[in-house]
Amino acid sequence: MKLSTEAKLGLFVVFTALSFAFIILTFGEIPIFKEKTKEYIVYFDDVAGLSKGAEVRVAGVRAGKVRDVLLEGDKVKVIFEVQESISIYRDASASIGTLGLMGDKYLALDPGNPQTGELPPGSVIKRTKVVSDTDRLISQLTQTAEEFRRVAINLNAILEENRTNLRQTVENLNNLLSALNELTLQNKENINLALHNLRELTQTLNRELPVLLDTLTKLAKDADTILVENREDIRAIAYNLSVVLEQVRDDLPVLVENLKELSVNLNTIVKTNKTNINKTLVSLRETTRNLSSASRKLDRILEDLRKGRGTLGKLLKDEELYVNINKGVKSLGKMGEVVERTRLYVGLRGELYREGDSKGILTVKLQPDEKKYYLLEVVGDSRGRVYREEYLDGREYVKKEFKPEFTLQYARNFRLFGRTFTLRGGLKESTGGIGADYYLSPERYIFADIWDFGRKDRPQDENLKPNLQLGIHWHITRNFYVRFGGDDLLNDNLRGFFGGAGFLFVDEDLKYLLGGMGVPLP
């Protein structure tokens, strides 16, 4: 029997499809359609039923499968593959997950932090997490239920043993409630009167209390103003009074006793030495005459000095000496004016960057005049500085170091379009940098900083541009301010937003704060 062309074609198609299905079932995926993968290894103490061919999920997304599960000593070796386009880093971690309460097992993978560097294919992932086993969970739930059953039995036994006491307690509570109800009914009028009086008192307070509070507030402000204006004098008076009182408290009884004894002794001495006292008075008169003579001689000496006679007189009349002394006094006066004019600012602020990184900054600003100032900052950066170390055997490790960084800049103020424009230059976080500030108002200004030319803080990223930071600084109050803007704007992979807040105190504020804490100030 001859087959038609259509029948032959149909048999060929069926045979081809069956052969193709046999190849897929026998060898798995078709290599020509398979996406490129890379292989890694991880060791577990217990894989809780994870089998060959199970899914591998990276950050919850299906990204590969388990190639093999082997026993190696007292550990279970799991060989798995992930898509080549997915990056796995050196601090990656692995764990066993379950699809649903009783579902299949899969290998869950946390890719890690890019700053630690990429993990080469074929490497071992050292960080693993505890396996969550469903059977173990059910066993623990069973034990918990048994413990609850025992608690219920014990509670029931306690209730049975104390049923009479509980009934008596309930009866006592009922009697107490009945007595309270009767007492309320008997004193209903008194209670209503008390509530009425309380209502009237509340209304009176509502009327009078705001006026009283305003008066007290005004009084407190006036007292605060008086205290601030006379703070130094009040502190000095209080200190002197405390010293005097402290001394008088200990010495006054002794002083009174000594005065009594002195009075008695003086009376005795006067009576017994009357003749000697008379002689002493005669001597005093003679001494007075001698002092009068000495006074006349002193007048003659002063007259010689006035006329320029003698060595001292010539010094007093020397015009050149007078000019030199006058110049010295003027120089000291100018130096005092500079010191008086110079303002010192001290502050602290914190800044928060992307991925939870932060900076803590101590600021010291010295401003001799309105045209310039000097800026010193000590910076603590949670990101640290990343660098690589290469060992003799060719291995390479990425490490971080955390050291304080310093900013030391000289700033100069200019007038631009009727507003203040500031240029800054010097060190910025221990590298060379420049910056500029443009004041929109005395409380707000736009700032820009660029630093870290030739960056080496991220060796895993090549051809990095300098760090450019642009933002706004806003003083909410005299001492409190916020600042926010963009960070690392020249690098696409590092660009992000930052925000921060801080306090800045001038020297007068510091004296006020330290004085309020009892710190003695000049």
pLDDT at residue number 521: 43
What whole-number percentage of the chain has pLDDT above 70? 75
Q: How far is CA 183 from CA 131, 163, 189, in A?
A: 66, 30, 11
3-state helix, strand, coil in the chain (%, to 5): 45, 30, 20
CA distance 443 to 469: 20
pLDDT tens figures, 74-102 = 899 999 999 988 889 999 999 988 876 55
Spell 289-328 as b/e; 16+ CB within 10 A means b: eeeeeeeeeeeeeeeebeeeeeeebeeeeeeeeeeeeeee
pLDDT tens figures, 405-423 = 889 999 999 998 889 999 9
Q: Are 133 and 102 in contact (CB under 8 A)?
A: no
Output the pTM of the full model. Answer: 0.38
Q: How far is CA 167 from CA 152, 158, 159, 172, 247, in A?
A: 20, 14, 11, 9, 72
pLDDT at residue number 519: 42
CA distance 482 to 325: 52
Task: Examine the pLDDT at 238 and tell me if it is beyond 80.
Answer: no
CATH number of 342-516, picked from 3.40.630, 2.40.160, 3.30.1490, 2.60.40:
2.40.160
Give the pLDDT mean for 214-218. Answer: 81
CA 208 to chain centre: 44
Spell 203-238 as b/e; 16+ CB within 10 A means b: eeeeeeeeeeeeeeeeeeeeeeeeeeeeeeeeeeee
pLDDT confidence tier of residue 195, bands split at 50, 70 and 90 = confident
Lowest mean pLDDT among 34-43, 105-114, 392-401: 392-401
- What CATH number has the domain spanning 35-132? 2.40.30
pLDDT tens figures, 357-393 = 888 899 999 888 888 999 999 998 877 766 666 666 6
Task: Examine the pLDDT at 160 and tell me if it is beyond 50.
Answer: yes
Task: Examine the pLDDT at 4 and tell me if it is beyond 70.
Answer: yes
pLDDT at residue number 445: 94
Average pLDDT, the chain: 79
CA distance 399 to 387: 6
